């Protein structure tokens, strides 16, 4: 069940992905093509791993820090 927490692992992970994409965009705008494309390739590979194997290291670490957005509790709705 989804809770109404503002800072939870999945939301923080999406925020980190958007910031990472902004850094890549800034690198590409500055003309640092090799670094920008390397980071973009890294992100694409990690997203494919998340899709194929349902494994995302950042979500695992962030769940330990912030907790999950999805509650397995019987009491909460």
- Phi/psi for 66 (5° steps) reads -105, -20
The residue extents of the domains of the chain are 9-66
CB-CB contact of 73 with 9 (8 Å): no
> Over the stretch 17-71, which tens digit does the pLDDT of each residue have?
999 999 999 999 999 999 999 999 999 999 999 999 999 999 999 999 988 887 6
Q: Which residues contact 10 (CB under 8 A, 6 or more apart)?
A: 59, 62, 68, 69, 70
User: Where does the pLDDT of residue 1 fall: very low under 50, low under 70, confident under 90, or very high at 90 and above?
Assistant: low
List alpha helices for 7-32, DSSP H.
Answer: 9-29
> Over the stretch 57-75, which tens digit does the pLDDT of each residue have?
999 999 999 888 876 665 5
Q: How far apart are CA 28 and CA 30, in angstroms?
A: 5
For position 3, what pLDDT does the model report? 56
For position 54, what pLDDT does the model report? 92
Q: Is the pTM of this model over 0.85?
A: no
CB-CB contact of 45 with 55 (8 Å): no
């Amino acid at each position: 069940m989804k809770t109404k927490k503002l800072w939870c692992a999945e939301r923080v992970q999406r925020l980190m992905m958007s910031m990472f994409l902004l850094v890549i965009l800034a690198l590409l705008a500055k003309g640092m093509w090799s670094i920008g494309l390397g980071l973009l390739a890294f992100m694409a590979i990690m997203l494919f791993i998340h899709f194929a194997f349902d494994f995302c290291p950042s979500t695992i670490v962030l769940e330990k820090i912030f907790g999950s957005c999805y509650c397995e509790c019987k009491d909460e709705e």
